[in-house]
Amino acid sequence: MKYTIAIDLGGTIIKIGLLKSGELIDRIEIKAQSASGLKAQLPELEEAIDQILFANQLHKEDVLGIGFSFAGLVDSVANRILSTNQKYDDGPETDLVYWAREKWNWPLFAENDARMALLGEWQLGAGQNCENLVMVTLGTGIGSAVLIDGQLLKGKHFQAGNLGGHFVVNHKGTTCTCGNIGCVESEASTWRLPSLLEEHLIFYTSSMKGLPLFDFKALFEHAALNDKVAKDILEHCLSAWAGGIITMIHAFDPEKIILSGGIMKSSAVILPALQEKVNRRAWTPWGKVKLVEAKYPDSAALYGADYLVRTNVNNG
């Protein structure tokens, strides 16, 4: 059985994995230089991949191909990046398929990062034995992916199911980086949190006021200590997330919602709060949609990339 190389190109960290039939054999992480562009990062990716091959005594002939996960819109037929959001802005001009063929004579299969993670959770994680799933990632931004009847939802322009973070939950809200107004992401994401706090009418009374960094870890800690501002902002975020999730339930009719991303480190608070709001507000006469935490929040995209390569090569 041959191996696969999986690349999960994040905005701050890039993960490179060596997999064999769903088993993660080796892994390297390198710092992302997203502001410098994708082409500038390719030599470092080459070095990391060659290092993995050498460390595991493998030759390029032992590898089926590369699965490439990217935080943006991806044409998964032509395997090219279509659009970015202030990260790796030269992505659409970078021919990744040519790069992989020229360097190792491997095929490369690209997909959006949320879809790739959903594939991994569906095959090996929290979505096993379900054919209808929605994945929501809560982090710096908010991403989503959808599986319907065992098939990834992609659409005519490869953006179907990926823009759940840009569903509107406040039509009088903040302008989002996407250009829309009142998106889930512009109401309740890591990049929005500092201004949410500072805009609160009594922020000057908050125990968070003097913090050097406003992040969700601090928000949850101060809310637990009964800080009114922190509690208000946390409830605002939970309500925005619930609104987005309920819209996804109404649109896509999933069996489960899988939640992942850095903010889910506080899952003990988030999951029951969101489940209660969804149970109360979602129109699902057949029953209740279960919200679950991702089983592999740090590596689902690597497992998904392995599945994507094997499926394409075997069907190709």
Label residue 34 by pLDDT band (50, 70, 90). confident
**Does the structure show a pLDDT above 90 at 275?**
yes
**pLDDT, position 234:** 98
CA distance 172 to 137: 24
Residue range 215-239, pLDDT digits in tens: 999 999 999 999 999 999 999 999 9
Residue 316 has pLDDT above 80, yes or no: no
Average pLDDT, the chain: 95
Mean pLDDT of 64-78: 95
Residues 6+ apart with CB under 8 A from 34: 11, 12, 87, 88
Mean pLDDT calculated for residue range 26-40: 93
> Mean pLDDT throughout 147-158?
97
The yes/no answer on whether domain 126-293 falls in CATH 3.30.420.40 is yes
Q: How is residue 267 written in tokens?
A: 């899952």
- Mean pLDDT is lowest, of 11-15, 112-116, 147-151, 219-223, for 11-15
- Structure confidence at residue 128 (pLDDT): 97
pLDDT of residue 71: 87
Q: Give the residue-averaged pLDDT of 71-98.
A: 92
Task: Say yes or no to pLDDT of 10 above 90.
Answer: no
Domain ranges of the chain: 3-113, 126-293
The rounded percent of the chain whose pLDDT value lies above 70 is: 100
Distance of CA 306 to the CA centre of its chain: 17
The pLDDT confidence band at residue 95, using thresholds 50, 70 and 90, is very high
User: For residue 62, what pLDDT band results from cuts at 50, 70 and 90?
Assistant: very high
The confidence band for 86, taking pLDDT boundaries of 50, 70 and 90, is: confident
Q: Is the pLDDT of residue 140 over 90?
A: no
279 backbone dihedrals φ, ψ, rounded to 5°: -60, -35
CATH of domain 3-113: 3.30.420.40
pLDDT reading at 138 higher than 80: yes
pLDDT of residue 167: 97
Q: Per-residue pLDDT averaged across 289-307, rounded?
A: 97
- Rounded CA-CA distance 286/284 in Å is 5
- The pLDDT value recorded for residue 285 is 96
Same fold: 3-113 with 126-293: yes
